[in-house]
Amino acid sequence: MADISRRARELGTENAFVVLAEVNALIRQGKDVISFCIGQPDFHTPENIQDAAVKAIREGKHGYTPSAGIVELREAVARDMTRTRGIEVRPEDVVVGAGAKPFIGYTILSVTDYGAGDEVIYPNPGFPIYESQIKANGAVGVPIYLREARDFSFDPQELADKITARTRLLILNSPQNPTGGIIAAADMQAIAEILRKHEQVWVFADEIYGRLVYDGQFVSLASLPGMQERTIISDGASKTWAMTGWRLGFAANHKLAPYFTNWVTNTESCASQISQWAGVEALNGPQDAAKKMRDIFFERRNLIVKLLNLVPGVTCRIPGGAFYVWPNVTEACRMIGARDSEELRARLLNEAGVAVLADIHFGPRVPNEGQHIRFSYAASTEAIEKGVARMADFIRRNTVHAKASAA
């Protein structure tokens, strides 16, 4: 019997989709479930963007495009990155892909060699595809820990300590998935200073949530002196304009753009031309709808943090951006007799009808940081109020049972 490669067998996944499948199975069985597990805006794509896509279809713009993307979109992305990062980005520096996610793999493939011992430093907890792509592409993953006491940022000194002669890539994500944390401007300056001593290190700056900042300011490492040349700026349409299913992302780096283009040619050929024309409108058109969505996310953030901090055994820091919260549930686990956050997650789903993700879905649990779960507050105000209330009731009910069992 023909076998499956070890690479395929060991390839990681994004557990949000795994839990979502569990949720959908329960819903099909008639169970009432409120889901906070998927990082997807719950809004429709703005109408002007929809109209631009329909217009493209009617005009016959639905064939292949150049692998790097249509010129109009690359120009729009370059203008936007120039304006929002305060640097000069040229259209020829930009490559368009079927979502921002492929550029994680393309970057690792472009700056590390399989099995050579090349190291990639990545955030933990972090977007799980970072770790899975590092492993699949034969590099060595080196996690750097996001600490609750630092509002889920890492200590720059820890970065300095982890860089070796084999380090080839640092992955930065700000605002972050899953914590909602932001790398502060002072920390970004410290990171740049460290990297200036290590010229062999590239940086993948995942800035997909860059327009969803509520506290402080968005800072791109590429905007700091000497950093643009070695930074891959990764962004996309999914989060800002509620375009997850349109699969439209882009990356910018002058030296790597030709290599990214070649990877696109070898894999997806090109992003959907229809989606690309929609992206042109998203970037160039009115931003009222995007601003409204951001303002609603801001209101929801404040609501869910307030409500979670009223739940027995739960504490929740205020995240600076994105649409996630990362509450500490260490005490809640103890109160109900759950061994860890994963057991709490499973019980919340099956016994309370509340779907969240556990910290272990985003990498190994950080030592001495306790237990955490992730809520995506890309959900209605009603769902947030009802879901958190269910969680609170579940903990209260089961705390009584846990005490009775102990007695």
In this structure, are 195 and 303 located in the same domain?
Answer: no
Among 26, 4, 52, which Cα is nearest to 272's? Answer: 52
Q: Is residue 200 part of a domain?
A: yes
Domain with residue 293: its CATH number is 3.90.1150.10
- Tens-digit pLDDT profile for the chain (407 aa)? 888 888 888 888 777 777 778 878 888 888 999 999 988 899 999 999 999 999 999 999 999 999 999 999 999 999 999 999 999 999 999 999 999 999 999 999 999 999 999 999 999 999 999 999 999 999 999 999 999 999 999 999 999 999 999 999 999 999 999 999 999 999 999 999 999 999 999 999 999 999 999 998 899 999 999 999 999 999 999 999 999 999 999 999 999 999 999 999 999 999 999 999 999 999 999 999 999 999 999 999 999 999 999 999 999 999 999 999 999 999 999 999 999 999 999 999 999 999 999 999 999 999 999 999 999 999 999 999 999 999 999 999 999 666 666 55
Summarised one tens digit per residue, pLDDT across range 202-250 is 999 999 999 999 998 899 999 999 999 999 999 999 999 999 999 999 9
Residues 193, 163 contacting (CB under 8 angstroms): no
Peptide bond into 319 cis (omega under 30): no
In this structure, are 145 and 32 located in the same domain?
Answer: no
Among 318, 315, 298, which Cα is nearest to 381's? Answer: 298
CA terminus-to-terminus distance, the chain? 56
In this structure, are 304 and 279 located in the same domain?
Answer: no
In this structure, are 305 and 274 located in the same domain?
Answer: no
- By residue count, the chain amounts to 407
Packed helices 102-111 and 257-266: angle between N→C axes, nearest 10 degrees: 120
In this structure, are 274 and 157 located in the same domain?
Answer: yes
3-state secondary structure of 374: strand
- The residue out of 259, 284, 309 marking a domain boundary is 284
Domain count, the chain: 2
Dist CA 235 CA 175 (whole Å): 12
Among 143, 114, 113, which Cα is nearest to 127's? Answer: 143
Q: Which amino acid, one-letter code, is at 348? A: L
Q: Which domain holds residue 293?
A: 6-44+289-406
> Which stretches within 226-287 are classed as H helix?
257-266, 273-284
Burial of 157 (0-12, 13-18, 19+ CB in 10 A): exposed
Q: State how beta strands 202-206 and 167-173 pair.
A: parallel
Dist CA 38 CA 374 (whole Å): 10
pTM above 0.85, yes or no: yes
Centre a 10 Å sphere on the Cβ of residue 371 and count the other Cβ atoms it contains. 24
Q: Is residue 51 part of a domain?
A: no
Q: Is residue 147 part of a domain?
A: yes
In this structure, are 40 and 120 located in the same domain?
Answer: no
In this structure, are 96 and 141 located in the same domain?
Answer: yes
In this structure, are 255 and 108 located in the same domain?
Answer: yes
Residues 140, 92 contacting (CB under 8 angstroms): no
In 186-269 the beta strands, taken as DSSP E runs, fall at 202-206, 231-236, 249-252
Dist CA 365 CA 355 (whole Å): 20
In this structure, are 258 and 398 located in the same domain?
Answer: no
In this structure, are 227 and 280 located in the same domain?
Answer: yes
In this structure, are 213 and 130 located in the same domain?
Answer: yes
In this structure, are 121 and 219 located in the same domain?
Answer: yes
Domain with residue 107: its CATH number is 3.40.640.10
Summarised one tens digit per residue, pLDDT across range 168-215 is 999 999 999 999 999 999 999 999 999 999 999 999 999 999 999 999
Packed helices 273-284 and 47-58: angle between N→C axes, nearest 10 degrees: 140
